[in-house]
């Protein structure tokens, strides 16, 4: 039975296409905040599933989930392919400024990808950024006066 005054957590639904660990992390935080019991966690988590995730749950054999830990393990196993993996710094070398792409657009795109590469040190970021630039005034200025740190 759900607690009196229950309101569903505002973490969004999981349909099998997004990062499952992000969804689980948001749910764990909400469950901790609201101090859900193990049984309530199972009921509430089930209500965060939609689409293929709901179909997956409907296909589980009766009695296969006895506690939230069972639910979490089965969920992680089934949706493992939806896990978001951290990128490695080699993917930065694939970034190239398009021939007609404005510098500001390339910088924005590079920074967006670089955020997902926590292992990249400043020297690698500077090297891969300049490696992807088209030759122009900014590129030549970087060659004449290299940056000491990437920010």
pTM higher than 0.85: no
Q: Give the ranges where 47-147 is alpha helix by DSSP (H).
A: 51-58, 68-78, 103-114, 122-132, 137-144
Q: How confident is the model at residue 38 (pLDDT cuts 50, 70, 90)?
A: very high
* 149 pLDDT tier (thresholds 50, 70, 90): low
Contact predicate 106/133, CB 8 Å:
yes
Whole-number Å distance between alpha carbons of 23 and 28: 9
Instruction: State the Cα–Cα distance between residues 44 and 135, nearest whole angstrom.
Output: 55
Q: What value does the CA radius of gyration of the chain take, rounded to a whole number of Å?
A: 23
Q: Model confidence over 60-114: pLDDT tens digits?
A: 998 899 999 999 999 998 988 776 656 667 778 889 999 999 999 999 999 888 8
Where is 65: in which H helix or E strand?
none
Task: Note the pLDDT tens digit of each residue in 138-148.
Answer: 888 877 877 76
pLDDT of residue 93: 86
The pLDDT value given to residue 150:
65
Identify the helix (H) or strand (E) that includes residue 29.
Answer: helix 20-34
């Amino acid at each position: 039975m759900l607690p009196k005054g229950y309101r569903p957590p505002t973490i969004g639904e999981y349909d099998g296409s997004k990062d499952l660990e992000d969804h689980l992390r948001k749910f764990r935080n909400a469950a901790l905040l609201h101090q859900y019991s193990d049984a309530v966690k199972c009921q509430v988590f089930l209500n965060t599933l939609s689409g293929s995730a709901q179909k997956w749950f409907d296909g589980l054999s009766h009695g296969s989930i006895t506690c939230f830990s069972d639910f979490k393990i089965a969920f992680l196993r089934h949706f493992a392919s939806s896990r978001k993996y951290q990128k490695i710094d080699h993917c930065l070398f694939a970034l190239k400024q398009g021939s007609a792409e404005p510098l500001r657009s390339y910088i924005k795109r590079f920074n967006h990808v670089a955020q997902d590469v926590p292992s990249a040190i400043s020297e690698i970021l500077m090297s891969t950024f300049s490696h992807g630039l088209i030759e122009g005034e900014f590129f030549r200025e970087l060659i004449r006066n290299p940056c000491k740190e990437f920010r």
